[in-house]
Amino acid sequence: MQNKLFSRAIFSLIMLLLPNFVSADEAAIKAGEQKSMICTACHGIENSNNPEWPNLSQQSKKYIIEQLHAFRGGVRNNALMSSQAMGLSDQDIVDIASYYNSIPSKKGEIDSSAKNVELGQSIYRGGIYDRGVPACMSCHGPKGLGIDRTGYPKVSGQHSVYTLNRLKNYKEGYDDRNSVSKNYSIMSGISFKLSNLEMKALSEYLQGLY
């Protein structure tokens, strides 16, 4: 009898606290909507206004938080992003990440030759065995939605121009890969093994992956 009463008391407490957890998340999204107004000038809401700038809608919350901290701390350098991130507090970063994570993304379209799409799909789903390149979907998922708890980003529907630039950046940063972050080191090691043609094909395939 006592065990039943105790269980009911715990359940009641959880149900009492649950709305607070939900409202806290909703509050962060609402706050993030206001704080991200300057972000939308470049990144838009569902899609960015320039293929060189990433789409952030439905992006991993953890990934956005990590990247904004990297820009703010000087680990990542970009004339526009570094200056914007400098003025953000930890809470601002959480709010902005929460907001963009809550926005459903638009489907991208593949704009490439069938040959490139086939090559990109082959790398994404099967990797390149003889070069030790793992299948991209092992971290980013079969639909490219990423894994939030690990900070692996959503890559589906991303601008191919942006993705290609990032892969090149990873490749060029190979020598300094371990001084940036664990995930950067992983991606740098993988990109280093890819040719420019393979990175381009992969980027173009990802733009339409859903």
Compute the half-sphere exposure of residue 192: CA atoms within 13 Å on the CB side of its CA: 13
Pick from 25-29, 87-91, 176-180: least confident: 176-180
DSSP secondary structure of 161-181: HHHHHHHHHHHHTGGGGGGT-
5 pLDDT more than 70: no
Start-to-end C-alpha separation, the chain: 52
Distance CA 199, CA 123 (A): 9
According to the model, what pLDDT value does residue 191 have?
A: 97
According to the model, what pLDDT value does residue 30 have?
A: 96
158 pLDDT more than 80: yes
Distance CA 78, CA 12 (A): 49
Using a pLDDT cut of 70, give the percent of the chain over it.
89
Using a pLDDT cut of 90, give the percent of the chain over it.
79
Cα-Cα-Cα-Cα dihedral sign, residues 93, 148, 183, 133: negative
According to the model, what pLDDT value does residue 107 have?
A: 82
Band of residue 51 on the pLDDT scale cut at 50, 70, 90: very high
The arithmetic mean of pLDDT across residues 65-69, rounded, is: 97
14 pLDDT more than 90: no
- For residues 181 and 66, is the Cβ–Cβ distance under 8 A? yes
9 pLDDT more than 80: no
DSSP secondary structure of the chain: -HHHHHHHHHHHHHHHHHHHHHHHHHHHHHHHHHHTTTTHHHH-SSS-SSTTS---TT--HHHHHHHHHHHHHTSS--HHHHHHHHT--HHHHHHHHHHHHHSPPPPP---S-HHHHHHHHHHHHH-BGGGTB--THHHH-TTS--BGGGTBPP-TT--HHHHHHHHHHHHHTGGGGGGT-HHHHHHHHHHTTS-HHHHHHHHHHHHT--
The arithmetic mean of pLDDT across residues 156-164, rounded, is: 97
* 171-195 residue pLDDT tens: 999 999 898 889 999 999 999 999 9
21 pLDDT more than 60: no
* 100-146 residue pLDDT tens: 999 999 888 888 889 999 999 999 999 999 999 999 999 999 999 99
| Model confidence, pTM | 0.85
Domains of the chain: 28-102 (1.10.760.10), 114-207 (1.10.760.10)
Q: Mean pLDDT score of the chain, rounded to an integer? A: 90
According to the model, what pLDDT value does residue 152 have?
A: 96
* Neighbouring-strand partners of residue 142: none
Distance CA 168, CA 143 (A): 23
Band of residue 12 on the pLDDT scale cut at 50, 70, 90: low
According to the model, what pLDDT value does residue 111 have?
A: 81
